[in-house]
Amino acid sequence: MSIYNWIMKVFFDTYEEWRMKNPTYNRNGFHIVGIDNSLKAMHDGYFMYTEIYPPYAIKGCTLMKAIAGKSEELLDLYMEINGKKYCISDLSYDDAIKIMRAFVQKEILPEEKNYVEVLEDEDGKVQKVFAELSEVLLGNAKHTTQFLKKVKPEKMQDMEDAWLELYEELLDRGMAIELDWKIRKDDFISAVKKLSTGLELEINEEILDSDEDIPRWGRIINSLWTEYVLSAMDVGSDSYVLMILSKDDFVRAKKLAKEILQRIAVIEEM
């Protein structure tokens, strides 16, 4: 460790040689509070994962990864140790923060009795979930088949690129529209009308305030619709990737996206 990195660690609690990765951050160097903030974003539903990479293997561990759990109050913590994958399931967010902080600050791993080896075929599951999600969002078996011939994620590490390929496919087919966060009301209305062609959905322009923004306009629209949802695909940018899904398809898409550590939400939650 260089003198500079030692000073940053001891006096500023900043770890220049460590890498953190989440949907909005992927580089070396972070303050210890970055762990707290990233897991808070997971708890609030904005992030699906947080990864921590040490500069060298610590007791064999080269990765610690928190993944949003089935319950909103719990997460699963994964570790790669000596080439094998282990998991502590159903951790509270407070406990996960303590474990990840101890890993970074003190180079300590949880006791072995607290985690179990993961033996399931995660890569096969990823492929299946991505295919199901593509079918829900593209809404056409032929289009889905064509798309999956081009885009074939084989493991979780491939998913970010595959997610962006799906986003591009939805834009190209007119099933999603990307809008800048500061767009005007009339352009927003035009986009929603284009997405809702053939659905006979009510879009009352008069009750939308021109001084508000996409999430607040979307909240009003969603409060009026009963069978459809104005939703968005999170691609890690300031823009909004709008989609209109039936309520059943939205529930399925949100669940499937979460399983591959991506995010689809109602527009007001973006």
Per-position DSSP letters for 159-224, written without gaps between them = HHHHHHHHHHHHHHTTS-EEE-TT--HHHHHHHHHHHTTTT-----GGGS-TTS-HHHHHHHHHHH
Instruction: Write the CB contacts of 131 (distance below 8 Å, at least 6 apart in sequence).
Output: 144, 148
User: Both tokens of residue 249?
Assistant: 């398809």
What is the rounded CA–CA span in Å between residue 85 and residue 63? 9
pLDDT score of 268: 96
Supply the pLDDT for residue 140: 83
List residues bridging with 133 in a β-sheet: none
Residues contacting residue 179 through CB under 8 Å, at least 6 positions apart: 187, 188, 191, 214, 239, 240, 242
- pLDDT of 156 reads 86
How far from 234 is each of 30, 50, 242, 258, 264, CA to CA, in Å? 24, 16, 9, 11, 6
pLDDT, one tens digit for every residue, the chain (270 residues)? 899 999 999 999 999 999 999 999 999 999 999 999 999 999 999 999 999 999 999 999 999 999 999 888 999 999 999 999 999 999 999 999 999 999 999 999 999 999 999 987 777 888 999 999 999 999 888 889 999 999 989 888 899 999 999 999 999 999 999 999 999 999 999 999 999 999 989 888 889 999 999 999 999 999 999 999 999 999 988 899 999 999 999 999 999 999 999 999 999 999
pLDDT at residue 224, rounded to an integer:
93
What pLDDT is recorded for position 44?
95
What's the whole-model pTM score? Answer: 0.87
Question: Dihedrals φ, ψ of 65, to 5°?
Answer: -135, 125
Q: 58: which DSSP letter?
A: B
pLDDT on residue 154: 85
